[in-house]
Structure 1
Amino acid sequence: MAANVTYIPPKAANPEALRVAAYCRVSSDSSDQLHSYATQIKAYTEQIGAHTDWELVDVYADEGLTGTRMDKREDFQRLLADCRKGKVDRVLCKSISRFARNTKDCLAALRELSALGVTVYFEKENIDTGTLTSELMVSVSGALAQQESISISQNLKIAWRRMMAAGDFVTTNPPFGYELVDGCGLRIKESEADIVRWIFASYLDGISTREIAKSLTERGILTTEGNAVWNPRSVQLILDNEKYKGDTFTLKRYTTNQFPFAVKRNHGEVDQYYIENSHPAIINTDTFERVQKLKERRTRKRQLDKQDSPLRGKMACGVCGTALMRRTTGKGLISWVCRKHDESAADCPVGRIPETEIYAAFMRMYNKIRANADIVLKPALTQLDDLERALQRENPAMLEINQAIAQVAEQSHNISKLQTAGLLDADACAAKLSSIQTKLTQLRRERRRLLEHDDIEDAISRLHQTADTIKFGPEQLDTFDESLFEELVERIIAESQTCIRFRLWGGVELTEEVRRAKR
């Protein structure tokens, strides 16, 4: 009997779906751009969903004021991370200017994606990086996008300066005690304004900036940047700021026209404007002027007092550990010497070090670290942050506090977005943000209490303060600055008469040669 055979044809191959992601970005928070932002997300979702052989991975979207720096774009970094994990095959982007406005970063990202087997399609330029000749096109288009960024920056500068000349521009970065209104105006933030008034009153009562900073730190009050530790410089900047009497001195710093942009102190290179009564005052003019006069008197007193020295209490011998003492010769030459050596040269080799040479060593040290701050300070900050995270992982209560802080911070972010979108009025937003800020302060205080090694958290805060002081300090120090010295130097260790070690606040130590004074 013949076998009954039924033919079964092979099934058509079902190729894997192409995993497609989209990246979009808007460069301002204006209402039309926010509409564009939402529209892009909707359009890409529909576009990818319309292809039966495409699988939507995600729509990555950033919004912000600038696209010139990739490290500030969180969703772009998330997109790159997912590509490295093999989750994405293809990326869609409206244009190269939305992908990157810096040719170097643009090509670096595209080369990495190409090595990962991920292609990118730019709709506006009709460029597909899957083709062999696309990189040249991207380079040209990227250069144009970079020029576009420079043009946008220049247009913004022109617009802002016109507003300054008309008295309509105050700032985009509100000082402690104020909050932004209408993008570039100021409104008093009462919870912080009371602290500002207390700072001015305390200074007039004879309390030093160091004592004021210590009191603010002990009270758990956070700086504008969110730091838990205040330093004298932070207090000094408040006392110096004319905005607290309702006036605005514009363009104390300016942004260069060359790319990449850099912020520099304005020494007359760019026009400035002084706007009187530009916003509500926290301090009356009489109080502000009395503080300025008192500061001048204290400065003159320090200069006239020959026995006063910012080095007092900071100098220590690196050989025997004894404090160094100040000595003045009959000719008026001032030097510092180990107490043991002063009593008996045989007890310690660290002899006299001219005070002027210590000042000169500080200036050399500052200029070096100002030019190489990222190399010197960043590794120390990274190590401290890693250590703090390791300690926190071992403390369940600390994890709960950190999660609570993250949730409250997210609430603050969401409220700000609702206000930007016009869904929450300014007064309601201010009330909610004030309540959230109070909660954050309480949580951070509880975290400091729980942290067994709170000296680490203190070191991190102090080192961040040191980094900020250097970042916003003078580009080149040619004369000794006593205030800057106080803000940066915790201790000076004399290793010998020709070598001293500066210990900065936060624990970083730098050694500098002492040059012998010329006779």
Structure 2
Amino acid sequence: MTNQTIVGTSAKREIIHIEATIQTNKLRVAGYCRVSSDSSDQLNSFAAQVSYYTNLIEGTQEWEMAGIYADEGITGVSMDKREDFLRMLADCREGKIDRIITKSTSRFSRNTLDSLATVRELKDMGVSVYFEKESIDTAVLTGENLLTLYALFAQEESLSISRNCKKGNRMRMAQGTYVSSNPPYGYRLVNKQLEIYEPEAQVVQMIFGEYLKGKGTKEIAKMLMAQNAKNKNGTTIWSHRTILIILKNERYKGDMRLQKSFTEDMLPYRKNQNRGELPQYYVRNTHDGIVSSLQYEIVNMLMDVRADEFIKDQIVTTLSKSVYCKECGAVYRRKINRGVTSWVCRRHDENINKCNGQLVSEEKIYAAFVRMYNKLQANQADILIPMITALKKLQEQGQRGNHELQTINKKIAELSEQNHRMSGLLSSGILDSALFISKTDELKKQLKDARQAKARMLSSLKKDTCLIETEDLLETLKEYPTHITTMDEEIFTDIVDKILAQDNQTIDFVLKNGLVLTERL
């Protein structure tokens, strides 16, 4: 039997670490914050939220910053006015965001329908939303059910506040003690009472006096503009409609008609003219009048006699408020002469020396639209598709704007925080008032500049809207016939934004996406 020897080794075990060559994709996370007003406390909240989400996202290794979206100074239940919120949704649709973090359901939306529709759309795109306060994660199966509950709470809170405010206002109306926080031109609100503001009161007296002398509302408006009289907004632009509202306002004789309009008790809130749905209250002698009751009554009797001044030229057609003058920008009006219908610039019609706009035949406009539409349908592949391609390239080039917006948001947050600290130093006596005023004035200027820069940035990014509208136009054309022989009002309304005219040779059709197509008449 042969002996076998096992040979051992005393060498140490060696471990070689091989680095991973394939990097896992980080989750692109965005923060959304919103405050309810522009008060200093809310500005501090705005600054804190922007800072918090920036630190949270950048401090998490598995996450990549997709942006901080912040809306400040916005109240209410509608998302229509939240620019950064809408920009965030647009970025989600373009695949730039995987996850959104926000403080609570009430910060996201106070309207259940909007909230659920948005969350569902985001889920379909693979974007989840995490609501910190309620610990709701839409990536979890039950998250949407919980979100429905909390969104209902937020909506009910908004509705409850609205109902309570309206109830209090209506009680004061019935008692005759209600005073609107928005005083009419000629008055100022002092200690919840209307007091005459003499510089504007003189303009009101002039308006009533000139109307009694026989001048119309348009003439009075022109006279005030010639005199550089300032209106309620501080500008010198007056319209006959503004004059008409002043002449009909009973407050100028010292009375008040309350609840002329009302806001619906359901979302979305809509303001309606009160045509008998709710009671109205007429309260006499609530404040000093600017004109006498007799003067007011005579003016309103004259307005009834001259009713034709306000109702003439109100025939509504397909082209009403759609044709504008290329030279002066005024809207064209419809005229019928010896059975022939034409359109003419209002300024030219009032005074031929003010504008050179010429009469354009309605029949020729209709014929030009038919030709333009047929050409657009036949050549959409050569016109719209290259336009869409070019806009997409511009969109890609402009994506760096998101980073710049983040920088601006951070700057606004930092400046707001500095402002808060300055207030603290003043209240504690460390900083004297003169130095405080000097420092805060500079901070306010920097804040204003930052906000203006943000507004310009948002404006430059609006080319995305043009892309969407061009794509929509292309889809709209697919729904309609490839050729028409007569004017089609529905098609015109769906694809044309406005018409620009100047002479009787050519007109420009400005489409919904901003594309201008010129057609000979």
Question: TM-score, structure 2 length as denominator?
Answer: 0.49
Question: TM-score, structure 1 length as denominator?
Answer: 0.49
For the pair shown, the structure with the greater C-alpha radius of gyration is 2
